[in-house]
């Protein structure tokens, strides 16, 4: 099996950081090589050098996406860190009481394969009905976004969905979809997915979100990049809106616009 040289690994580190903002630690060299071997086989390359030259060619943007997908961590599951969903459910009434024409906008900023988005949608539907809200999911990985859009999950993943929601919103696959499940149309039609890099914010858009989930992604960035991302995300949060971070990411400091209301949940209290 071909070896990844130190200079080859440095090349990968640079390329990956340039595109995602994430630094791959030096001790990850073997793990990185293992994740990429399949791509070398796919192209019949004996050498990492050939693969890296291919990635450097602008005509291989599709492969660059696969490279990013292979090296990012997509672990996620329905109702992950469930206490935050419980908290949201308890506090949704404050959003209900806004002007009737207001559509509640929720953003799952690094949504992986969509489980977080659909968990939010089930809660919103159960508490607010089928209209007046939307959930937007973004992720840098196009593969993850496609999985989210297709929404055919292994049936085992449904075990984490609370039973009343499972009964109300999940459909068991039959025939070619045996062993899988999907979400019903009332849920799917309120969920929108696009691939997007958190570090490349569109300055032009003025969309504000009432609720933002930015969970289990900041840990992959340096403190400087974390601050850059959190600053931009806060800018997108409506006054009075809530920001949810992952349980291991209690890293919102020096942001006077935010007030902590619960572990890893923050309210925007000034503009």
> Which amino acids are annotated catalytic?
35, 139
In terms of CB distance, is 217 or 252 closer to ligand SAM? 217
- Closest approach, Cβ 176 to ligand SAM, in A, equals 27
Closest separation in Å from C-beta 127 to ligand SAM = 21
Nearest distance, CB of residue 157 and ligand SAM, angstroms: 12
171, 163 in Cβ contact below 8 A? no
20 or 226: whose CB is closer to ligand SAM?
Answer: 20
- Identity of the residue, 102 or 160, whose beta carbon is nearer to ligand SAM in the bound complex: 160
Number of helical (H) and strand (E) elements in the chain, helices listed first: 11, 10
DSSP secondary structure letters along 26-67: GGGHHHHHHHHHHHHHHHT-S-HHHHHHHHHSGGGHHHHHHH
Neighbours of 30 (CB within 10 A): 11
Closest by Cα among 266, 206, 241 to 84:
266
Helix, strand, coil percentages, rounded to 5, for the chain: 50, 20, 35
Q: Which helix (H) or strand (E) is 138 found in, with range?
A: strand 133-139
Shortest distance, position 71 Cβ to ligand SAM, whole Å: 9
Closest to ligand SAM by CB, 21 vs 241, is 21
Smallest gap from Cβ 19 to ligand SAM, in A, equals 8
Which residues make up the interface to ligand SAM (CB under 6 A)? 20-22, 72-76, 80, 110-112, 116, 139-141, 144, 197-199, 215-217, 220, 246
Indicate left, alpha or beta for 19 from its phi (over 0: left) and psi (-120 to 50: alpha): alpha
Residues, the chain = 271
In the complex with ligand SAM, which residue's Cβ is closer, 180 or 215? Answer: 215
């Amino acid at each position: 099996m071909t070896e990844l040289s130190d200079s080859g690994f440095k090349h990968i580190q640079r390329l990956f950081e340039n595109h995602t903002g994430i630094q791959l630690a030096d001790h990850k060299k073997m793990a990185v090589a293992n994740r990429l071997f399949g791509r070398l086989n796919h192209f019949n390359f004996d050498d990492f050098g050939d693969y890296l030259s291919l990635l450097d060619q602008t005509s291989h943007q599709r492969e660059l996406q696969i490279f990013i997908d292979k090296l990012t961590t997509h672990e996620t599951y329905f109702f992950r860190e469930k206490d935050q969903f419980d908290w949201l459910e308890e506090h949704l009434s404050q959003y209900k009481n806004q002007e009737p024409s207001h559509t509640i906008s929720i953003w799952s900023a690094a949504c992986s394969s969509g489980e977080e988005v659909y968990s939010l949608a089930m809660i919103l539907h159960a508490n607010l009905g089928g209209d007046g809200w939307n959930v937007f999911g973004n992720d840098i990985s196009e593969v993850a976004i496609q999985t989210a859009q297709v929404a055919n999950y292994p049936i085992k993943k449904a075990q984490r969905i609370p039973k009343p929601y499972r009964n109300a919103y999940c459909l068991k696959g039959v025939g070619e979809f045996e062993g899988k499940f999907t979400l019903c149309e009332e849920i799917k039609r309120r969920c929108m997915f696009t691939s997007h890099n958190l570090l490349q914010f569109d300055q032009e858009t003025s969309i504000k979100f009432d609720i933002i989930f930015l969970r289990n992604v900041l840990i992959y960035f340096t403190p400087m990049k974390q601050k850059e991302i959190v600053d931009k995300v806060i800018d997108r949060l409506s006054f009075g809106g809530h920001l949810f971070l992952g349980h291991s990411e209690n890293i919102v400091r020096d942001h006077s616009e935010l007030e902590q209301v619960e572990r890893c949940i923050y309210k925007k209290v000034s503009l």
